[in-house]
């Protein structure tokens, strides 16, 4: 069977984005200046971003939502965007997951209040990869999926068992996880890495999984620590590609040792309306390139342009445009200085 398309699974969330003048200290007041509703969760954001880019590759969704208004909203939205929902399920045992995203207007910095809801019950047991025709199976967010993060005697976690099952069926696997300041990364993320073909994480997630601090105390990027973290992820079992993204750009490392660096775009502060979903936008650009067989430099460039487009809107997918439009952002705003050490 010639496989084609992306099957994205995991966290299906409705984001309720509130723009605030300042994030308040305890027992103090902040003003909500505007609010909106949008997509949330790695699979949801990635698929909708790909649709908005104009991608024609087949797309499918897998996961669990509540039998409620927000669940209907997600399913209707997916169908409207011609995304296959045959592997989506509904439950009356928990509400659809949602997140209140508090975004400071001046800085774009975000604080999240999250209800796990139905996502915590999904364990992927109903997925039949032998009947699927997709090329890539993506799962995210690890650390936010109790059923997937649960222990498995043979593979370490249920997520690892699910990715192993996907690989046996002939799919390539891709993972993403949520950013949190905890010690859970080694227990939950590490077991899935031997069954991961494409590992796309941000600097915090890569550092937490490998025990490296990639951001110096003065706020600058430590490229030496970044390289060490990426190499450690390969040693932990990632099969084909490690990619780490951060505000300054992205870095990719292959098992052969070949490296790729890509600077982000130099955007004026007034352009940035919010950073929610920027990592998922980058991931969408990378997965598009991987699926289409582009070289990694082109894929990284697409990723940083997609992230730049995302920053123009406070929601996770509201800023995405057609592929040609987002690539032209690099001509308008130019790239930051090279990240590659020695230059």
DSSP one-letter string for 18-56: EEESSPPPTT----EEEEEEEEESHHHHHHHHHHHHT--
Query: Mapped to the 3 state alphabet, what secondary structure does 120-160 carry?
Result: HHCCCCCCCHHHCCCCEEEEEEECCCHHHHCEECCCEEHHH
- What letter does residue 76 receive in the DSSP assignment? H
- What letter does residue 266 receive in the DSSP assignment? -
Q: Which residues of the chain have pLDDT under 50?
A: 343
Q: Contact 311/272 with Cβ under 8 angstroms?
A: yes
Full set of structural domains in the chain with CATH = 6-333 (3.40.1190.20)
Give every CB contact of residue 22 below 8 A, 6+ residues apart in sequence. Answer: 30, 104, 106
* For residue 141, cis peptide bond before it (omega within 30 degrees of 0): yes
Supply 149's token pair.
């993060």
Q: Which residue has the tokens 């699974």?
A: 9
What local confidence, expressed as pLDDT, does residue 52 receive? Answer: 98
What local confidence, expressed as pLDDT, does residue 329 receive? Answer: 96
Q: Contact 76/102 with Cβ under 8 angstroms?
A: no
Between the two ends of the chain, the Cα-to-Cα distance in Å is 45
List the one residue out of 52, 98, 46, 92 whose CA is nearest residue 73: 98
Q: Where are the alpha helices (DSSP H) in the chain?
A: 42-53, 69-80, 146-149, 158-168, 185-188, 203-210, 223-235, 278-292, 296-310, 323-327, 329-333
Pairing assessment for the beta strands 110-115 and 97-104 based on DSSP bridges:
antiparallel
Q: Contact 233/206 with Cβ under 8 angstroms?
A: yes
What local confidence, expressed as pLDDT, does residue 158 receive? Answer: 97
pTM, two decimal places: 0.93
List the one residue out of 89, 71, 73 whose CA is nearest residue 81: 73
Q: Which helix (H) or strand (E) holds 91?
A: strand 84-91
What local confidence, expressed as pLDDT, does residue 274 receive? Answer: 80
Task: Determine the Cα–Cα distance for residues 138 and 9; give it in Å rounded to an integer.
Answer: 6
Task: Determine the Cα–Cα distance for residues 255 and 252; give it in Å rounded to an integer.
Answer: 10
Give every CB contact of residue 23 below 8 A, 6+ residues apart in sequence. Answer: 30, 102, 104, 109, 111
What local confidence, expressed as pLDDT, does residue 342 receive? Answer: 66
């Amino acid at each position: 069977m010639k496989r084609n398309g992306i099957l994205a699974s995991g966290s299906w969330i409705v984001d309720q984005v509130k723009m605030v003048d300042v994030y308040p200290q305890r027992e103090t007041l902040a003003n909500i200046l505007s609010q909106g509703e949008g997509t949330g969760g790695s699979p949801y954001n990635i698929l909708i971003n790909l649709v908005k880019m104009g991608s024609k590759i087949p797309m499918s969704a897998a996961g669990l939502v509540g039998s409620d208004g927000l669940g209907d909203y997600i399913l209707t939205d997916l169908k409207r965007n011609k995304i296959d929902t045959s592997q989506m399920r509904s439950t009356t045992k928990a509400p659809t997951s949602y997140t209140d995203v508090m975004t400071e207007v001046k800085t774009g910095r975000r604080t999240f209040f999250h209800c796990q809801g139905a996502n915590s019950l999904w364990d992927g047991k109903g997925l039949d990869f032998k009947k699927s025709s997709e090329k890539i199976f993506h799962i995210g967010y690890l650390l936010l999926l109790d059923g997937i993060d649960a222990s498995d005697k043979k593979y370490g976690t249920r997520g690892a068992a699910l990715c192993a099952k996907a690989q046996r069926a002939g799919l390539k696997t891709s993972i993403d996880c949520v950013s949190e300041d905890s010690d859970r990364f080694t227990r939950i993320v590490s077991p899935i890495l031997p069954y991961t073909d494409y590992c796309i994480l941000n600097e915090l997630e890569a550092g937490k999984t490998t025990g490296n601090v990639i951001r110096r105390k003065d706020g600058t990027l430590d490229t030496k620590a970044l390289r060490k973290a990426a190499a450690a992820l390969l040693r932990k079992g990632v099969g084909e590609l490690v990619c780490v993204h951060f505000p300054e750009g992205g870095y990719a490392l292959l098992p052969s040792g070949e490296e790729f660096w890509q600077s982000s775009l130099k955007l004026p502060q007034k352009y940035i309306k919010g950073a929610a979903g920027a990592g998922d936008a980058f991931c969408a650009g990378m997965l598009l390139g991987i699926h289409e067989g582009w070289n990694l430099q082109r894929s990284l460039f697409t990723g940083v342009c997609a992230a730049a487009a995302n920053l123009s809107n406070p929601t996770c997918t509201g800023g995405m445009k057609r592929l040609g439009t987002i690539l032209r952002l690099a001509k308008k705003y130019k790239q930051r200085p090279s990240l590659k050490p020695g230059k």
